Amino acid sequence: MATHTTSPKVFITGASSGLGEALARHYAAQGAILGLVGRRGDKLADLAASLPHPHAVHCYALDVRDALALRAAADDFMARHGVPDIVIANAGISHGVNTEDAADLPHFASVMDTNWMAMVATFSPFVAPMRERKHGTLVGIGSVAGVRGLPGHGAYSASKAAAMTYLESLRVELRAAKVAVVTIAPGYIRTPMTDGNPFPMPFLMPSDKFARKAAAAIARRKRFVVLPWPMGVVACVMRCLPRWLYDMLFARAPRKPRLSERQAKNSAPANAGPPPNDPSTGPN
Ligand SMILES: NC(=O)c1ccc[n+]([C@@H]2O[C@H](COP(=O)([O-])OP(=O)(O)OC[C@H]3O[C@@H](n4cnc5c(N)ncnc54)[C@H](OP(=O)(O)O)[C@@H]3O)[C@@H](O)[C@H]2O)c1
């Protein structure tokens, strides 16, 4: 039977590293009851054990591309604690891709499934209960990379553009029900996802600072926020550039390595130096 407390209840996907982990730590420090999702159950268990109230943390080791598993986790969490106050669809992956190479087609699909479709599947079990209670905040993690199509990053840019457009639709749909939908578009945040980036990352922000700023925006039920804020200015400029100028400026932009390139680097001989910490090259 559901227990109802005054502690905030927060359900987070992609909590086993990076931004999701930082958000879990932030909300745990506020005394929250947490539902944490990720494929690496060992990482989730280690995180739970390191938090101030491990008994208030429920870990769900699952793949967010499995909508039935997500629904079972959501139902379990709600059966124990009632409807969450905040649901954060954060799980995501990022690979460079090349349309010419048929071997990359599955990577286009998995990026889209993880970054966009799984966001929909994450929210789906919670929308009706939140609507009924006229309470709750759904948070989606987009990206500045979704503002324009970045060369070599077509799968990721497309998935984040889809996610942010979907979040806007949902925000308007749920307005009358008083359920908030918050879009957070990070620029560059220091996490395992960005650790291997072979290019400069302007305004790089630590993940704990990101979590504090994101939680403040979520508490204010902001519709859309870019973090860190200077990347918001960059995003506005990017959005406004005429296509001919955008094409000229970005034609030579550095590209995210493709999955095959990262795997080759990771399997390089030991004397070539340590591989980057890159879980997105793992079980995707
Ligand atoms: N870091 C940045 O600068 C940045 C910028 C813009 C947007 N973002 C977005 O922020 C979100 C978090 O990224 P991050 O930087 O924290 O990366 P990260 O450290 O690589 O973390 C990604 C998280 O997503 C989970 N995940 C990935 N695929 C999953 C799947 N199929 N099922 C379940 N969980 C899955 C991973 O857990 P498991 O591997 O255990 O499954 C991990 O917990 C992503 O949506 C990313 O696109 C990040």
Write down the domain spans for the chain: 9-281
Instruction: Say if residue 50's pLDDT is above 50.
Output: yes
> What is the pLDDT averaged over residues 224-233?
98
Instruction: Say if residue 272's pLDDT is above 50.
Output: no
> Nearest residue CA, atom 31 of ligand 1?
63
- The model's pTM is 0.93
> Nearest residue CA, atom 25 of ligand 1?
14
Q: What's the 24 CA to ligand 1 centre distance in angstroms?
A: 13
Closest ligand 1 atom, residue 192 Cα: 19
Instruction: Say if residue 185's pLDDT is above 70.
Output: yes
Contact (Cβ atoms closer than 8 angstroms) between residue 23 and residue 99: no
Question: What values do phi and psi take at 10, rounded to 5?
Answer: -130, 130
Closest ligand 1 atom, residue 189 Cα: 3
Secondary structure E strands in 135-202? 137-141, 180-186, 189-190
Q: What's the 185 CA to ligand 1 centre distance in angstroms?
A: 13
Query: Comparing 120-134, 211-225, 242-256, which segment has the lowest mean pLDDT?
Result: 242-256
Instruction: Say if residue 95's pLDDT is above 60.
Output: yes
Tally of CB atoms within 10 A around 254: 12
Q: What's the 18 CA to ligand 1 centre distance in angstroms?
A: 7
Catalytic amino acids? 156
> Nearest residue CA, atom 42 of ligand 1?
14
> What is the pLDDT averaged over residues 34-46?
98
Class for the domain spanning 9-281: alpha beta
Percentage of the chain surpassing pLDDT 70?
92
Going by pLDDT thresholds of 50, 70 and 90, the confidence category of residue 257 is: confident
